[in-house]
Amino acid sequence: MSSPSLQNLSNDLAAAAEAIGPSVVAVHGQHRIPSSGIQWRKDVIVTVNHGIRRNEDISILLGPEKSVPASLAGRDPSTDLAILKLTVGAKLPLPEVADALSVKLANFVLALGRSWRGNLVASFGMVGGLSGEWQTWHGGKIDQHIRLDLELYPGFSGGPLVNADGKVIGINTRGIARGRAVTIPATTVNRVVDELLEKGHITRPYLGVAMQPVAVPASLHSKLKPGLSNGLIIVHVEPSGPADRAGILLGDILVELQGRPLESVESVQKILSSARVGDKISATLLRGGSPAELAVTLQDRQTR
């Protein structure tokens, strides 16, 4: 790349930071290191859920020595997103959001955030990996996998990823990909923000059990469908939860849900991600060495 081209790129990135920077805030919602955030809707700040450790006494730094109070309006641990409402109008600008299809592998990008003092800070890199829809280990659906090849410093989580055109691609985090720096795309952010503003939480079905993978004893294979040799043993049943109401007991071994084999806890989350609250799903289990069939009516964890 020639020197004039590098200078043009440098100028474009500086202009992008200047354009989006006024929308970026520091979020003091936990002890020690703050997270970052950005005004996504009027007086609505999007940040990361793992950066909010308390429900009250949250403050927002708009810049050095410019602090305003905020209240928690909702959170979604499965996508690591939380939204705050400014209790005092701050007149922050709304950022321009990029079309998800415009994101390309190896695009140069900026991660923006604010330091604990409220100074705007940046980290430069590129889109290091790009693929389709994926599911977090908490069961959240992310519309696009955007892996970052840049240093996401402490406090940057919750801040925006910005392209060279000065548009926001999404929200950066280390909280959903086993510590790797990824970006939650704007389409996912919009979907989560809409539901959190409407309901205060994400409606998501759950079973109400804790499980661990186990191998089904060879002597029991003949009692199950061919190929079913693994399952999930129930180690805890939440009182009055969906599984408890369906009659699932401690020590049962789940081998199928909706006719699909269960190899891991993640396989349960994948099945539940396509279900809805109120759906009745079939469960095949082993109890005392004998197979049993039960129907489980899914509930919402927040409203059961």
Q: Which of 76, 80, 143, 252 is catalytic?
A: 80
* Catalytic annotation present for 50: yes
Per-residue tokens: 213: 């993978």
Contact 189, 46 (CB under 8 A): yes
Give, as one character, the DSSP assignment of residue 97. Answer: B
CB atoms closer than 10 angstroms to residue 190: 16
Q: Which of 28, 36, 50, 143 is catalytic?
A: 50
Of the candidates 78, 30, 24, the residue with the CA atom closest to the CA atom of residue 46: 24
How do the residues of the chain divide into helix, strand and coil, expressed in percent and rounded to 5?
Answer: 20, 40, 40
Per-residue tokens: 231: 């399952």
SS (H, E, C) 222-248: HHCCCCCCEEEEEEEECCCCHHHHHCC
How many distinct helices (H) and strands (E) make up the chain? Answer: 4, 22
* Catalytic annotation present for 157: yes
- Terminal alpha carbon distance of the chain: 59
Q: SS3 for 251?
A: coil
CB atoms closer than 10 angstroms to residue 225: 12
Q: Which residues carry out catalysis? A: 50, 80, 157
